[in-house]
């Protein structure tokens, strides 16, 4: 029985280490923003991931809607980037060039 528990623990450790290798795009960015050693188990990691990407999942808007996001005249660049990224996370299959064009096109000229 003890050998079986040890094997299960090793499988979970491998799953935790392999998990980031399966990520791309925003999921990889999200994972990279986690504080090192802040997660104690694969179950906790899975729960955090699902909470971040599935719980508030809504119908995806067209990629072109990113071009409607503009920095407000009195809005800090940091606040704009945060708002832009929130909206960007609702998009599927993002094209990096389109995303960058939309991001840069929305920056207030005096930022």
How much is the average pLDDT of 31-53? 83
Check residue 71 and give its pLDDT. Answer: 93
Contact 41, 67 (CB under 8 A): no
Structural domain boundaries of the chain? 2-53, 63-105
pTM over 0.85: no
State how far the alpha carbon of 59 is from the alpha carbons of 26, 65, 90, in Å: 17, 13, 8
Contact 110, 83 (CB under 8 A): no
Model pLDDT for residues 101-111, shown as the tens digit of each residue? 999 999 988 75
Model pLDDT for residues 49-97, shown as the tens digit of each residue? 888 777 555 555 666 788 999 999 999 999 999 889 888 877 766 778 8
């Amino acid at each position: 029985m003890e050998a079986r528990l040890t094997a299960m623990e090793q499988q979970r450790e491998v799953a935790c280490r392999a998990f980031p290798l399966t990520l791309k795009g925003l999921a990889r960015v999200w994972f990279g923003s986690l504080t090192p050693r802040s997660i104690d188990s694969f179950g906790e990691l899975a729960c955090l991931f699902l909470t971040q990407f599935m719980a508030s999942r809504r119908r995806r808007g067209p990629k072109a809607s990113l071009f409607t996001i503009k920095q407000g005249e009195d809005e800090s660049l940091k606040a704009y980037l945060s708002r832009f990224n929130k909206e960007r996370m609702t998009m599927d299959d993002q094209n990096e060039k389109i995303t960058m064009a939309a991001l840069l096109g929305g920056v207030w000229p005096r930022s």
